Structure 1
Amino acid sequence: MNKWAFDFTGKKVVITGGSRGLGFQMACAFSSLGAEVIIASRKLESCQTAASTITAETGGKVHAYALHAADWDQCTEFAHRVLEDHGKIDVLVNNAGSSPLYDKVTDISEELYDKVVGLNLKGPFRLSALLGEKMAESGGGAIVNISSIASVNPKPDTVPYSAAKAGLNATTVALAHTYGPDVRVNAVVPGTFLTDISQHWDQEAFAQRAQSFAAKRGGEPEEIVGAVLYLSSPMASYTTGALLTVDGGASK
């Protein structure tokens, strides 16, 4: 076996927000490389459809779970359930997240603020704490948090989202120290990716804005996969507490 090749044979990988967009591409990649994949999102039916699609493509085992990652108790129940169902979890990818639109900051309600912080920060923390502890007890693992360049380059239209993702960055570093050396905790910091949400954008306006990126375009969903695979693999054995930017040079 080529020691430089990605190989997740026999590994069990949990991906939140895995039924579509970036998470779906990650799930496809892990499955194609031999992993048993567990995908979770709020809509169980969407996860089941995604799981069937991936299995048909890769032949791998893909399991679907319902999870509202902003809900502390659901995260607790989910972590206990997947450990009971599958035993040791080797990789956790905290991918679920969203940034709701608002007209001005005074329009941000407490409900919206709490929802954004819950999904982008509270949930990932809770899952990482519970599964990370079990990883440490059973010999190691990897946690990859999906952050955002909004965490380091906040704008008026991303105030709660930027705050939550900045908190996720800090949590990433803190948990790397908490569960090191056996469990590595890192974050990918993506820029603009062309997922299904981007279909509702003003395409001409975005194309014009993208000219300020070094890559001159938005990213395709599969283009985040390499960073996630690297941080989840033994090739990143000396990488922990890192924030890996994947933004086509947009923040430079």
Structure 2
Amino acid sequence: MTQQLPDFSLTGKVALVTGGGRGLGLSMAQGFAAAGAEVVLASRKKEACAAAAAEITRTTGRPAHAYGFHVGHWGEVEPFVEQVYADLGRVDVLVNNAGMSPVYDKLTDVTEELWDKVFDVNLKGAFRLTALVGDRMVAGEGGSIISTSSIAAIRPQPHALPYAAAKAGLNAITVGFARALAPRVRVNAIMAGPFATAVAAAWSNDFAGGVTSTVPLQRMGAPSEIVGVALYLASPAGSFTTGSVITVDGGITVPPDEATEFEGKSF
């Protein structure tokens, strides 16, 4: 008996990616479109999403749409979801990719405003969006929800503790939502290490070298290297995977005595 190959196709599906105008979110959206999906890019910067959507359509031939909204503002999430469903009728794949990590000099400099902003974007918005879209997925044809986490969640650094705490919370709600929305909706997270995005491009050579020295593969990941695991989780190929937090970090290890070398940067 011939074993059937995994199905990575997203033909006929709608994939919504927050923070989809650049970096890992854009790479995932491009991968989904190449696999046949119609994609929705959303962020505070609608212009960037619009430019990215136009490029996706040009290169893949698939429809791509841009929306502007602030995922960290609770009151904006439900109207956004209502609009997407009114326009497209469905969401089959949701990627909670929007994130931020402001830097600070020392822990006593962390203000309530900074703390709240980090949690609003990285955790609160993802929770609300997952609850609303997940509820519709359960009532409809099911779906897949993926969140972009970080190795900071399990290897917190002193100069990025709000970010690390928010990503740890994201890992926790991933498992909780997987149980709440099963069996019709799968919920997983990708715990990313250092990737060569626009954020990393601003790092000094010394800092970038310090980062890559902790990675067994001796380099940062290319944004396109996140696509394989995202496509697996989004497609029928990952049909028996839920409640998982999958690490994609080049095998990075950060010993406690090296954590302070990262000067407030986070992955």
TM-score norm. by structure 1 comes to: 0.97
Residue 210 of structure 1: which of 209, 212, 215 is its match? 212
What's 2:127 paired with?
125
- Aligned residue for 1:90? 92
Alignment of 1:1-252 (within 5 A): 3-251=5-253
* Total equivalences in the alignment: 251
* Distance in 2 (alpha carbons) for counterparts of 1:209 and 1:233: 32
Determine if contact 2:214/2:253 at 8 Å carries over to the other structure.
no
Which stretches in structure 1 are left out of the alignment for 5+ residues?
none
Q: Provide the rounded CA distance (Å) in 2 between the counterparts of 1:44 and 1:206.
A: 30
Question: For residues 148-185 of structure 1, what are the alpha-carbon distances to aligned partners after superposition, in whole Å with 9 as ceiling and x for unaligned?
Answer: 00001101011100110101100000000000011000
| Partner Cα distance (1:213, 1:84) in 2 | 45
Contact kept in structure 2, 1:149 and 1:251, CA below 8 Å = no
CA distance in 1, matches of 2:155, 2:209: 20
State the alpha-carbon separation in 2 of the partners of residues 49 and 184 from structure 1. Answer: 30
SS in 1 for 2:17: strand
The structural deviation recorded for 1:4 is: 2.3
What do the CA deviations read for 1:25-65 (whole angstroms, capped 9, x no partner)?
11111111110000001011111111111111111100000
Question: What CA distance in whole angstroms lies between the structure 1 residues aligned with 2:102 and 2:69?
Answer: 19
How far did 1:207 drift? Answer: 1.8
Amino acid in structure 2 at the alignment position of 1:146: T
1:73 corresponds to which letter in structure 2? G
Name the amino acid aligned to 1:45.
E
Q: Is the 8 A contact 2:7 2:236 kept in 1?
A: no
Per the TM alignment, residue 208 of structure 1 is displaced from its structure 2 partner at its CA by 3.7
Unaligned stretches of 5+ in structure 2? 255-267
**TM-align CA RMSD:** 1.2
Q: Secondary structure at the match of 2:213?
A: helix
**1:95-146 deviations in Å (ceiling 9; x for gaps):** 0001110001111111111000000000000000000000011121000010
CA distance in 2: counterparts of 1:25 and 1:174, whole angstroms: 27
Secondary structure of 1:50's partner?
Answer: helix
> How far 1:3 sits from its partner (Å)?
4.4
Deviation at 1:205, TM superposition (A): 3.2
Identity %: 49
2:98 alignment partner, SS class: coil
